[in-house]
Amino acid sequence: MEQRVVYFEGHVQGVGFRYTTAQAARPLAVTGYVRNLPDGRVELVAEGQTSEIDRLLADVREQLGSHIRSEQTDTRPATGQYSDFRVAY
C-alpha cells in the first residue's frame, strides 16, 4: 500500500478535472481526494495498491491529458486515513 500525491499543472481547473478524476476512482480500490489549489494546480492524493493508483492515473491522463502540461509526483507509505475517494473543497 502506498500514498501518491500528484500535482497537475496546465488548464486543469474549470474543465471537470475533479469530477472526472472522482468518477475514474470509483470502481478502483483507492481512497483519498482531488482538489483545486489556489495557484491553479490540482492536487490528487490517492492511497491503495500501486497497480490501482497506476490505473487511476492512466485513466486521468487518458481522459484529461490534453489539459495537463506537467505533473509532480511524490510517493509515500499509505496512512490509512481515508475511507473513500472524494472531491475536496
Q: Where are the domains of the chain?
A: 2-87
- Catalytic residue from among 4, 18, 41, 55: 18
Q: How confident is the model at residue 36 (pLDDT cuts 50, 70, 90)?
A: very high
Q: Which of 4, 26, 35, 36 is catalytic?
A: 36
- 61 catalytically annotated: no
Q: Is 4 a catalytic residue?
A: no
**What does the alpha-carbon distance between residue 68 and residue 9 come to, in Å, rounded to a whole number?**
6
Q: In this structure, are residues 34 and 18 in contact, taking their beta carbons and an 8 Å threshold?
A: yes
Which pLDDT belongs to residue 32?
98
For residue range 46-89, what is the model confidence (pLDDT) as tens digits? Answer: 999 999 999 999 999 999 999 999 999 999 999 999 999 999 99
Alpha helices for the chain (secondary structure H): 17-25, 50-64
pLDDT value of residue 60:
98
- pTM assigned to the model: 0.96
Look at the domain 2-87 and name its fold.
Alpha-Beta Plaits (3.30.70)
Q: What is the pLDDT of residue 59?
A: 98
